[in-house]
Amino acid sequence: MSTVLVLLDHADTGALRGSVLELATVARDLAGDGGAVHGLWVGDEPLDPALPVLGRHGVSVVHAATTGAADPRLTPVLAEVLVDAVTASGATVLLALSTFENKEAVARFAVATGAGVVTDAAAVERDAEGRVVAAKTVLAGTWTTRCAVLTDPAVVLVKAGAVPAREVDADAPALPAVSAREVAVSERATRARVVERTAEEPTDRPDLAAADTVVVGGRGTEGDFTALEALADVLGAAVGATRVATDEGWIGHEAQIGQTGVTVSPRLYIGAGVSGAVHHRGGMQASGTVVAINSDPEAPVFEIADYGIVGDLFVVLPQLTEALRAR
Ligand SMILES: Cc1cc2nc3c(=O)[nH]c(=O)nc-3n(C[C@H](O)[C@H](O)[C@H](O)COP(=O)(O)OP(=O)(O)OC[C@H]3O[C@@H](n4cnc5c(N)ncnc54)[C@H](O)[C@@H]3O)c2cc1C
């Protein structure tokens, strides 16, 4: 019988990140009949509001871990909590969202436990031998690989949007049982401390890595993202950028998509003034439908676009936004 543990990423308010429910769905498939899906809630944010939705997605036990004075947002602290939770739950598979923080935490976890890790997985399944196998693109999106994790526990970080979240097939799914524990974190894990935190201005836009639709600007914007932002707002989309745009300081580095930025796999990617360089493609090639707007008909982005518009983005984007508003 296999237990799969899912790291329950959540906001400071206690709101679950939507893609966590996708992980619970993957976890159910990996656990199989007779297996169990456990969740790991780290921190003292209110857990109760999340329990019904976790129950509906097949989570039977939530390990609620606190760390005393140690800040669980620090990856060395989180790594020690992961070791504790995997031991306490007896999990043979650990799943988490593929974020920068989680990648660092599971790398530390792997050093401590010897576990095999795959990050940025787009799909996870068990093969005929029961091994956990994760599919991911590598080498700037030019190859797709399948990697079997040969250790127990196996650790896989899954990209947001990899699978649709599915509720369990039951009229009244049970609430998960909660197992609370305070983890004694080592002195070594607390040698760096957060001394100040300032919240960024809240935005109504979705998280870039998890968004269903992204509107992306490149050098062609010449630093003016107004038309992109207007389109993004009509579509409820996140705004992303190429490295040129972030290096120029036109938009924050957290918006950079590509080999050295965020990897996205939205259902719809709209790129404007983006040439489609290989380093950028590496972070968006798994997108569903790709729309490119570029004034150069020879731009490489048209090779991967499902729909291409040859034109000036400052003309095309406002027309598109107006047409969508009119609908
Ligand atoms: C090690 C390494 C890592 C890198 N990592 C990344 C990464 O993570 N992400 C990333 O994006 N890049 C990355 N890069 C940079 C990458 O190679 C490209 O230089 C970059 O992606 C190009 O950005 P761009 O498309 O905005 O600019 P350009 O390649 O200059 O293209 C601009 C495009 O805009 C079009 N255009 C101009 N004006 C208009 C207009 N008015 N209307 C419509 N179209 C217009 C032009 O025809 C052109 O095709 C990396 C590079 C290296 C060496």
| Domain presence at residue 197 | no
For residues 226 and 121, membership in a common domain is answered with: no
Query: Nearest to residue 205, comparing CAs of 214, 196, 194, 193?
Result: 214
| Domain presence at residue 133 | yes
| Domain presence at residue 49 | yes
Q: Which stretches of the chain score pLDDT less than 70?
A: 140-141
For residues 281 and 310, membership in a common domain is answered with: yes
| 57 is annotated as contributing to ligand binding | no
Domain harbouring 156, CATH code: 3.40.50.620
What are the strands, taking DSSP E only, across 69-219?
A: 93-97, 116-121, 123-126, 132-138, 143-149, 154-158, 177-182, 213-217
Q: Quote the pLDDT of residue 194.
A: 86
Is the CB of 220 within 6 Å of ligand 1? yes
Query: Which residue among 164, 190, 216 closes a domain?
Result: 190
| Domain presence at residue 201 | no
Distance 280 CA to ligand 1 centre (A): 7
Query: Nearest to residue 216, comparing CAs of 264, 259, 248?
Result: 264
For residues 216 and 321, membership in a common domain is answered with: yes
For residues 243 and 298, membership in a common domain is answered with: yes
For residues 148 and 239, membership in a common domain is answered with: no
For residues 146 and 23, membership in a common domain is answered with: yes
For residues 132 and 176, membership in a common domain is answered with: yes
Query: Residue whose CA is closest, atom 4 of ligand 1?
Result: 279
H or E segment at 291? strand 289-294
| Domain presence at residue 70 | yes
| Domain presence at residue 314 | yes
Q: Quote the pLDDT of residue 299.
A: 97
Structural domain containing residue 239: 208-326
Domain harbouring 261, CATH code: 3.40.50.1220
Q: Domains in the chain: how many in total?
A: 2
Is the CB of 140 within 6 Å of ligand 1? no
| Domain presence at residue 8 | yes
Distance 261 CA to ligand 1 centre (A): 13
For residues 254 and 288, membership in a common domain is answered with: yes
Q: Rounding to the nearest 10 degrees, give the CA dihedral for residues 20, 21, 26, 29.
A: 150
Three-state DSSP class for 260? coil
Q: Rounding to the nearest 10 degrees, give the CA dihedral for residues 29, 33, 34, 40.
A: 10
Query: Residue whose CA is closest, atom 29 of ligand 1?
Result: 275
The single-letter DSSP state of residue 106 is H
| Domain presence at residue 150 | yes
Query: Nearest to residue 19, comparing CAs of 266, 277, 275?
Result: 266
Q: Quote the pLDDT of residue 94.
A: 98
- Are 211 and 262 in contact, with CB atoms under 8 Å apart? no
Q: What is the DSSP string of 223-257?
A: T--HHHHHHHHHHT-EEEE-HHHHHTTSS-GGGBB
Instruction: Among 221, 262, 280, name the best residue to mutate to test ligand 1's pocket (greatest count of ligand atoms within 8 A of Cβ).
Output: 280
Q: Quote the pLDDT of residue 145.
A: 95
Ligand 1 atom closest to 301 (CA)? 49
Is the CB of 299 within 6 Å of ligand 1? yes
| 279 is annotated as contributing to ligand binding | yes
| 219 is annotated as contributing to ligand binding | yes
How many CB atoms are located within 10 Å of the residue 325 CB?
11
